[in-house]
Amino acid sequence: MSGKHTERANGDNQSAGRIVIETPTKRDGAALWRIARDSQKLDLNSSYAYLLWCVDFADTSVVARVDGEIVGFVIGYRRPADPESALVWQVAVDASQRGRGLAGTLLDELFGRLVDAGVRYLDTTITPDNEASIRLFSSFAKRWNATLERSRLFEAGDFPDAHEPEDLFRIGPLARAPQP
């Protein structure tokens, strides 16, 4: 997938520029870290982790650019125990682009590519009170005409710090990308 990119209109605001969706590179790691940090909602990983995501997991991740600046991303990986499944680790959109459907567009673009590479299931974890993420992934399942199964993966007591439980959302089987 390396080097693939897609261009999309950026909502109704012509001055907002076109959105370019592509695979990340090492130079993108710092921007991903900043967007995650600025969200004030995501679990922030180390800056080193975002660099590794952009290098080692580029084929299972995408970034969105407007006027050359990264404004959103999805990072994930193929699950070693289940190669037909890809786990979405994080989805983030810069505050300047929220409310325009960019997160869903990024998921659709990434999984359109991953389905072509043999992925049949999207897995992700979401805390039970994260209604925005629950809506995002429920909407993805609906667009893809796929089943969404939800189960508890981690209890709060599994974490060494103050962390809410995490539910596993499994969406699939995925057969084809929705038509725009």
Q: 80-122, pLDDT tens digit by residue? A: 999 999 999 999 999 989 888 999 999 999 999 999 999 999 9
Note whether residue 147 is domain-resident. yes
Which range scores top for mean pLDDT: 16-20, 103-107, 151-155? Answer: 103-107
Note whether residue 167 is domain-resident. yes
What's the number of domains the chain is made of?
Answer: 1
The pTM for the full model equals 0.87
Q: What is the mean pLDDT of residues 129-155?
A: 95
Q: What is the mean pLDDT of residues 162-177?
A: 90
Q: How far apart are CA 53 and CA 89, in angstroms?
A: 10
Note whether residue 46 is domain-resident. yes
Note whether residue 3 is domain-resident. no
In sequence order, what are the beta bridge partners of 142?
none
Predicted pLDDT at 70 = 96
Contacts of 39 (CB under 8 A, 6+ apart): 92
The CATH number given to whatever domain includes residue 133 is 3.40.630.30
3-state class of 176 per DSSP? coil
Q: 27-61, pLDDT tens digit by residue?
A: 999 999 999 999 888 888 899 999 999 999 999 99
Pairing of strands 82-93, 121-126: parallel
Predicted pLDDT at 12 = 46
Predicted pLDDT at 14 = 41
* pLDDT over 90, % of the chain: 74
Would the pLDDT of 155 be above 70? yes
Note whether residue 71 is domain-resident. yes
3-state class of 119 per DSSP? coil
Note whether residue 180 is domain-resident. no
Note whether residue 5 is domain-resident. no
Note whether residue 129 is domain-resident. yes
- 139-164 CB burial, b ≥16 within 10 A, e <16: ebbeebebebeeeeeeeeeeeeeeee
Order of strands across the sheet with 147-154? 5-8, 19-22, 62-66, 69-79, 82-93, 121-126, 166-172, 147-154
Predicted pLDDT at 11 = 52
Q: Is 139:105 a contact under the CB 8 Å cutoff?
A: no
Predicted pLDDT at 99 = 87
Predicted pLDDT at 44 = 86
Q: Where in the sequence is the domain holding 35, given as residue range(s)? A: 19-172
Report how far apart the first and last C-alpha atoms of the chain are (Å, whole number).
21
